[in-house]
A and B are shown apart, each in its own frame.
Chain A
Amino acid sequence: EDQVTQSPEALRLQEGESSSLNCSYTVSGLRGLFWYRQDPGKGPEFLFTLYSAGEEKEKERLKATLTKKESFLHITAPKPEDSATYLCPTSGSRLTFGEGTQLTVNP
């Protein structure tokens, strides 16, 4: 059974304090790993797609990387507006979601 585990469940950072979110997965026949951010009461917003180990994608303060077993979302010098829940569904036979990491960035 496909499985995605995200850690930590919750993370509090000070503005400017860089850190990483982890997404571990076991998927048979990985066809892609996605990163989304979700603000409270809203639908997930697409950030990145990673298809193969070694691939990296960047967008502003965010950088996503992928290995054969996990993906990291690195956040450099975060700002309060980066506060959200981050999701990393994987695509095997269908999308498999973990529970996400709730990030809070304090000013």
Chain B
Amino acid sequence: DVKVTQSSRYLVKRTGEKVFLECVQDMDHENMFWYRQDPGLGLRLIYFSYDVKMKEKGDIPEGYSVSREKKERFSLILESASTNQTSMYLCASSFLLAGGPEDEQFFGPGTRLTVL
């Protein structure tokens, strides 16, 4: 079974702190994604990566950055946390299919981040 793990289930940080959220997958997937999920807004894509050291902006990248130094690990960084970044953060991974149908994404358990 595909396993996607996230470093913390719950995290509380203060405004202005630099925050690191870590995600690791064990199925050699090329693609990795970071989403945030908020009531009434659904899941929104922050950043994604198709390969090591490669990153692409999603729909809401402002205030975030990412790092992918190894294939299995994708980190989300909040450079200076703000209260409006309080949310559930979800990491996902999938295979890269060349030109064909999209492959399903497998999600981690989520990190509920509270910024005070």
A-side interface residues toward B, CB under 8 Å?
31-32, 34, 36, 41-46, 49, 51, 87, 89, 91, 94-95, 97-100
If A97-B43, A100-B42 touch, whether A31 touches B90 (CB-CB below 8 Å) is no
List of 8 A-B pairs having minimum Cβ-Cβ separation, nearest first = A91-B102, A43-B107, A31-B102, A97-B43, A32-B102, A97-B42, A99-B42, A44-B107
| Contact between chains at B109 and A42 (CB < 8 Å) | yes
| Contact between chains at B40 and A99 (CB < 8 Å) | yes
How distant is B87 from chain A, measured CB to nearest CB, in Å?
13
| Contact between chains at B112 and A41 (CB < 8 Å) | yes
- Between A and B, 19 residue pairs with Cβ closer than 8 Å are A32-B101, A32-B102, A42-B109, A43-B4, A43-B92, A43-B109, A43-B110, A44-B90, A46-B105, A46-B107, A87-B42, A87-B43, A91-B102, A94-B58, A95-B45, A97-B44, A98-B42, A99-B40, A99-B41
If A97-B42, A99-B40 touch, whether A49 touches B107 (CB-CB below 8 Å) is no
Q: Which residues on the B side are within 8 Å of A98 (C-beta)?
A: 42
A46 to B58, CA, bound (A): 21
B-side interface residues toward A, CB under 8 Å?
4, 40-45, 48, 58, 90, 92, 101-102, 104-110, 112
Which of A32, A46, A87 sits near B106, CB closer than 8 Å? A46
| Contact between chains at A49 and B90 (CB < 8 Å) | no
Known: A32-B104, A94-B45. 14 other contacts (CB 8 A): A32-B101, A32-B102, A34-B104, A41-B112, A43-B90, A43-B107, A44-B43, A45-B107, A46-B106, A51-B101, A87-B43, A94-B48, A94-B58, A95-B43
Q: Which residues on the B side are within 8 Å of A91 (C-beta)?
A: 101-102
Q: Which residues on the B side are within 8 Å of A99 (C-beta)?
A: 40-42
